[in-house]
């Protein structure tokens, strides 16, 4: 084991992603002696793969565009969207400091879409336009911050250890955190000592075992950052921290999977957004029952309805006439590509001459499916759909019939380490673990979004909490 000789660091930052880079950067600018460690060979974390949508109220761009908004309204909106399930303290800390974070990036040159800010991109809309989407996705954010971190490294104010996996936290006699051990790429163990440790090492979305242990659902989709393996949650727990927010697990409205061996990739994305494409198909669960009106305008209502279905999956059902008449449902696919998917051997795509055969192939109860189609066709004929659907263009009449299975999934982490409003990791009794802080996805999405998808409420809070840790929260000096 190698012992770091020039230690004690004022701050050791574990993970250089959306939260860790600003934490290290701003602490260094305050004069702290900072060590930044990352398991990956590069900085940036999930920003490499993230869409990078952000939300912030009271920004310069909003003022330029004449949008009147305030952090209080943002706060109220997140609590409305999450139906009170988000953590009030952390949402407040995030949104009341979000504009400063966004303006910082904007002044650095962040380019967002021309129409921004908007109220929504695919998630349940905010009441005010406070939602931004960088033209180069999450990478745009990484590309702005990373050079600033490297400048501090070059100036000797941040020591950077890439390809080092933090494996253990060190504690003193009082149970406070005073350092950590890390494993380098060659397998050598290093020990680093510090007054403060910030766990900014992301979530567990790329750790299928941990994901299933916490959410109770398999990790179906492999789209998260490879190093999001839940290390921060385990490290925090090892010194007395605990997890909260598992009850806020919420999944998206489904993707067709490429394989039965999980995690896997989606074959394609289906356009199940009625505001972009009105549905021509019906959606049924494994019993064959329709469970939500397919033209339900609320994304949140569709997602919540799916959460109640067996295995959180459903099948999109249609016939040949609908396939030919409807606008394409698979985003980016031609009708020819769509037709080819049904003979490509994907477990999510089925085609059969009769509804009964289709049900058998797909794993749907045949009687239920036939009943659902009969009932839907009655609604098409009379305009009286039993779920209240109003877009009823064609009955499902003649074979061949088609089924595409959609599996609800998430690419982020719902539960995470419990912290107080100063981002100090706490024990179950509310006491603080001295020297230990946490920010970003290691806290779990369930804190800043609750049991809902609140637009931009992961990237912006991660950046903001990291910035606050570095700028003001972490004590510096003797
Ligand atoms: C595909 C995708 C799209 C998304 N889109 C959006 C979006 O549009 N808007 C939004 O708000 N959120 C979005 N998210 C979520 C959001 O991007 C993340 O929650 C956020 O970037 C996490 O930042 P972080 O700093 O907490 O963690 P990360 O960015 O994951 O950084 C953690 C860092 O810690 C390192 N690390 C891990 N373990 C160790 C260890 N043991 N030792 C040392 N280092 C370690 C990792 O290598 C990584 O660099 C998306 C997520 C995904 C996967």
Q: What local confidence, expressed as pLDDT, does residue 336 receive?
A: 87
Query: Using one digit for the tens of pLDDT, what is the confidence trace for 162-181?
Result: 999 999 999 999 999 999 99
Is the predicted pLDDT of residue 118 greater than 90, yes or no? Answer: yes
Is the predicted pLDDT of residue 458 greater than 90, yes or no? Answer: yes
What are the CA-CA distances from residue 470 to residues 130, 270, 418 (Å)? 25, 42, 19
For ligand 1, atom 52, name the residue with the nearest CA: 50
Euclidean distance between CA atoms 245 and 233, whole angstroms: 12
Q: What local confidence, expressed as pLDDT, does residue 4 receive?
A: 55
Is the predicted pLDDT of residue 5 greater than 60, yes or no? Answer: no
Euclidean distance between CA atoms 165 and 131, whole angstroms: 34
Could you tell me if the CB of 47 is within 6 A of ligand 1?
yes
223 Cα–ligand 1 center, Å:
11
372 Cα–ligand 1 center, Å:
41
H/E stretch holding 319: strand 313-319
Helix (H, G, I), strand (E, B) or coil at 339: helix
User: Which of 130, 202, 449 gets mutated to test ligand 1 (max ligand atoms within 8 A of its CB)?
Assistant: 202
Helix (H, G, I), strand (E, B) or coil at 172: coil
For ligand 1, atom 1, name the residue with the nearest CA: 50
| Phi, psi angle pair for 27, to nearest 5° | -65, -40
- Beta carbons within 10 angstroms of residue 293's beta carbon: 22
440 Cα–ligand 1 center, Å:
8
48 Cα–ligand 1 center, Å:
9
Looking at 95-109, 146-160, 329-343, 367-381, which range is the least confident one?
A: 329-343
Is the predicted pLDDT of residue 122 greater than 70, yes or no? Answer: yes
Q: What local confidence, expressed as pLDDT, does residue 335 receive?
A: 83
Query: Using one digit for the tens of pLDDT, what is the confidence trace for 186-215?
Result: 999 999 999 999 999 999 999 999 999 999
438's tokens: 């946490």
Atom of ligand 1 nearest to the CA of 459: 11
- What is the torsional sign of CA 356, 362, 366, 369? negative
Atom of ligand 1 nearest to the CA of 411: 53
Atom of ligand 1 nearest to the CA of 440: 26
User: Which of 23, 46, 183, 464 gets mutated to test ligand 1 (max ligand atoms within 8 A of its CB)?
Assistant: 46
Which residues neighbour 456 within 8 Å (Cβ) at sequence distance 6 or greater?
53, 54, 55, 56, 131, 132
Could you tell me if the CB of 166 is within 6 A of ligand 1?
yes
**pTM for the structure as a whole:** 0.96
Confidence of residue 44 (pLDDT cuts 50, 70, 90): very high
Euclidean distance between CA atoms 92 and 78, whole angstroms: 10
Pairing of strands 401-407, 313-319: antiparallel
- Beta carbons within 10 angstroms of residue 204's beta carbon: 30
What does pLDDT average to over the chain? 96
Atom of ligand 1 nearest to the CA of 45: 49
Euclidean distance between CA atoms 435 and 376, whole angstroms: 60
């Amino acid at each position: 084991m190698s012992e770091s000789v020039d230690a004690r660091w004022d701050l050791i930052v574990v993970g250089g992603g959306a939260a860790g880079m600003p934490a290290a950067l701003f602490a260094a600018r305050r004069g702290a002696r900072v060590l930044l460690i990352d398991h990956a060979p590069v900085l940036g974390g999930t920003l490499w793969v993230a869409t990078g949508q952000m939300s912030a109220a009271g920004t310069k761009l909003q003022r330029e565009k004449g949008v009147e908004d305030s952090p209080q309204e943002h706060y109220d909106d997140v609590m409305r969207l999450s139906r009170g399930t988000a953590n009030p303290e952390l949402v407040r800390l995030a949104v009341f400091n979000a504009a400063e974070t966004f303006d910082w990036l904007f002044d650095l040159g962040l380019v967002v879409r021309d129409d921004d800010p908007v109220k929504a991109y695919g998630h349940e809309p905010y009441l005010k336009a406070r939602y931004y989407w960088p033209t180069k996705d999450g990478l745009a954010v990484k590309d702005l911050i990373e050079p600033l971190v490297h400048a501090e490294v070059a100036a000797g104010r941040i020591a950077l250890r890439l390809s080092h996996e933090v494996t253990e936290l060190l504690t003193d006699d009082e149970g406070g955190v005073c350092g950590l051990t890390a494993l380098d790429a060659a397998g050598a163990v290093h020990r680093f000592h510090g007054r403060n440790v910030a766990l900014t090492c992301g979530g567990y979305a790329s750790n299928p075992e941990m994901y299933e242990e916490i959410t109770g659902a398999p990790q179906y989709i492999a789209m998260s950052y490879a190093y999001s393996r839940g290390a921060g949650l385990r490290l925090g727990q090892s010194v007395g921290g605990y997890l909260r927010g598992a009850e806020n697990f919420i999944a998206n409205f489904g993707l067709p999977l490429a394989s039965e061996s999980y995690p896997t990739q989606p074959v394609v994305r289906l356009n199940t957004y009625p505001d972009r494409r009105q549905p021509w198909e019906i959606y049924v669960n494994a019993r064959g029952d329709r469970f939500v009106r397919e033209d339900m305008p609320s994304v949140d209502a569709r997602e919540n309805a799916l959460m109640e279905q067996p295995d959180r999956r459903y099948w999109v059902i249609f016939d040949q006439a609908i396939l030919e008449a409807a606008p394409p449902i698979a985003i980016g696919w031609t009708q020819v590509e769509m037709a080819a998917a049904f003979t490509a051997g994907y477990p999510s795509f089925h085609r059969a001459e009769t509804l009964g055969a289709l049900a058998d192939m797909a794993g749907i109860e045949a009687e239920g499916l036939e009943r659902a189609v009969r009932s839907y066709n009655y609604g098409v004929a009379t305009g009286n759909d039993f779920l209240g659907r109003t877009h009823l263009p064609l009955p499902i009449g003649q074979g061949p019939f088609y089924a595409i299975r959609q599996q609800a999934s998430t690419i982020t982490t719902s539960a995470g380490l419990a912290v107080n409003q100063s981002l100090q990791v706490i024990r179950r009794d509310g006491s603080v673990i001295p020297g230990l802080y946490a920010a970003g996805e290691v806290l779990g999405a369930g804190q800043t979004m609750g049991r809902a998808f609140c637009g931009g409420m992961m990237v912006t809070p991660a950046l903001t909490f990291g910035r606050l840790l570095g700028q003001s929260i972490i004590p510096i000096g003797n």
